Amino acid sequence: MNKKYKAFISYFQENMPIAESELKYENPYQLVVAVILSAQCTDKRVNMTTPAFFERFPNALSLAQSTQDEVYALIKSISYPNNKSKNLIGMAKALVENFGGVVPDDVDLLQTLPGVGRKTANVVASVAYNKPAMAVDTHVFRVSARIGLTKGAKNPLETERQLVKQIPESIIPKAHHWLILHGRYVCKARKPDCDRCGITEICDYYQSQKS
């Protein structure tokens, strides 16, 4: 592990020892639903929507037996409700038919579910099952590049591969949230709040702004 990664991990272990998803869920099924809904939508909006959704659809079987119109009515305040309604029902049907209604903990198996791409699969494996999977969303992609943890990564998969190569497996699930939360509240997309950042000494972006 290089010095930059050591400093990054050391800082966040001390200053953010608890780092968790801001999505509210009680089991892997609820997490899959929440993560599908969260695509290009805020966690806050998702958390406002899911209580009524889970009351109506408490498990994969009940969701699999619903109609797209019924699902749409419950998630219409979420971005892309038509597409997500279709994916949620497809995901539930696949869970029931192929996995006995139980959400798998394997990234490749998760990606066989409609609406579940690699990022969503990594989130579920990491958050629900504590697997060493690094989900790369826009925050992780941006922050890891700005700091200099990743070099020349052109897409999320390249970013993921560089991060998991350096970060110990045991803390990959937590490091995923370090990067997300840092990007959401400090290292913001349009204007990073460098004055509030505790890792400017190792940040390539900050050092480039000084010179």
User: For the residues 51-80, what does the mean pLDDT come to?
Assistant: 95
CB 112 within 8 A of CB 140: no
Residue 69's H or E segment, with its range, is helix 68-75
At 148 the pLDDT is: 95
User: For the residues 19-39, what does the mean pLDDT come to?
Assistant: 94
- Among 119, 151, 165, 210, the active-site one is 119
- Among 106, 137, 165, 188, the active-site one is 137
Our answer to whether residue 119 is catalytic in this structure is yes
CA–CA distance, 42 with 22 (Å, rounded to integer): 10
DSSP letter (8 states) at residue 114: T
Our answer to whether residue 137 is catalytic in this structure is yes
**pLDDT tens figures, 84-119:** 999 999 999 999 999 999 999 999 999 999 999 999
> Sign (positive/negative) of CA torsion 90, 45, 76, 119?
negative
CB 61 within 8 A of CB 102: no
Question: And the tokens for 60?
Answer: 């994969």
Indicate the pTM of the whole model. Answer: 0.88
Amino acid, res. 35: V
- Confidence tier at 211 by pLDDT (50, 70, 90): low
Residue 27 pLDDT > 70, yes or no?
yes
- Confidence tier at 80 by pLDDT (50, 70, 90): very high
User: For the residues 39-61, what does the mean pLDDT come to?
Assistant: 94
